[in-house]
Structure 1
Amino acid sequence: MIEYRRLTEKELDRFIDMRIHQLREEGAKEQLNLVPALRDYYSRHMADGTFVSWLAFDEEKIIGTSGMSFVEKPPYFQCPSGKIGLLSSMFTDLDYRRKGIARELLSRVISDAREYGCGTVQITASDMGVKLYTDYGFVHNGNFMQYAL
């Protein structure tokens, strides 16, 4: 039976390992050891409530992850609160895919974003995740651009 629990410091190292596995699976090129930066980020933002995560467990094995970072920018017409949820770390172990686990994790972090007061949730979706997000009600925003510093 699949159990869902919030991420705590106790699972953080396993969560980070899965995040790095996810990045590799999505084709990221490793240029440095990302573990210290991830540990610092998650620890700080879990402590101040601006990062939440739900995990899916099969007994004590983590089989799915989710994450939501909360940011704020000046209010705009589509998001009058200015509070935005940035969805990340959506990952399901290969052996557990297509069983509704990602959808359940997504539902839980979306609920957290709603509770935080977010007016919108955004994600840069992998090819694999587009169907999940579209089925859930996400729409493409063709204006997204990025500038690397």
Structure 2
Amino acid sequence: MIFNLRQANLQDLEALIQLRLELLRETGEIKGDSDTANLAEATRKYLGEKMPSGEFLAWVAEVDSQIVATSGLVFFQRPPYNGNLSGLEAYIMNVYTIPMWRGLGNCYSIVKGNYQLCESN
């Protein structure tokens, strides 16, 4: 299966929110038929602020223009140390693939792209 790997943008916002909610359901952070409207709105606000500023970056894998996998990267700064004098670090998160698309290497490719970005900074 051929998939397109690209950095997400604000046009992908609703798909990113839905994939995050699915991830949280699968990990048990969202129980049953919980109302997710407030969580979705808080996520929309967060991504709407952090993506344009570069504080949160996301990648997606698409098949036939449908996003089937995603991964996020959050930068943070801690006090410098010998191995990292800038203190800038990144946290890879929100790694999720729609169940029917698992096992095809989508997330591996996305996380590899995140890692390469971190190495270049």
The TM-score range, normalised by the shorter chain, is 0.7 to 0.9
Q: Would you tell me which structure has more helix in proportion to its own residues?
A: 2
Instruction: Please report the TM-score for the alignment, with normalisation by the length of structure 1.
Output: 0.72
Structure 2 unaligned blocks of 5 or more: none
**Following TM superposition, where does structure 1 have runs of at least 4 consecutive aligned residues deviating by more than 4 angstroms?**
none
Query: Contact 1:68–1:113 at 8 Å: present in 2 too?
Result: no
Q: CA RMSD in A?
A: 1.6
Q: What's 1:67 paired with?
A: 72
Q: What's 1:143 paired with?
A: none
- Aligned pair 1:34/2:39, yes or no? yes
The number of residue pairs the alignment matches comes to 116
For residues 106-140 of structure 1, the C-alpha deviation after alignment (integer angstroms, 9 at most, x for no partner) is 0111122223x2xxxxxxxxxxxxxxxxxxxxxxx
- Identify the structure with bigger relative contact order (alpha carbons < 8 Å, sequence gap 6+): 2
User: Which has the larger displacement, 53-62 or 71-80?
Assistant: 71-80
Q: What's 2:20 paired with?
A: 19
Q: What's 1:8 paired with?
A: 9
How many angstroms apart in 2 are the aligned matches of 1:29 and 1:93?
A: 17
Q: CA deviation at 1:48?
A: 1.1
Instruction: Please report the TM-score for the alignment, with normalisation by the length of structure 2.
Output: 0.87
Structure 1 unaligned blocks of 5 or more: 118-149
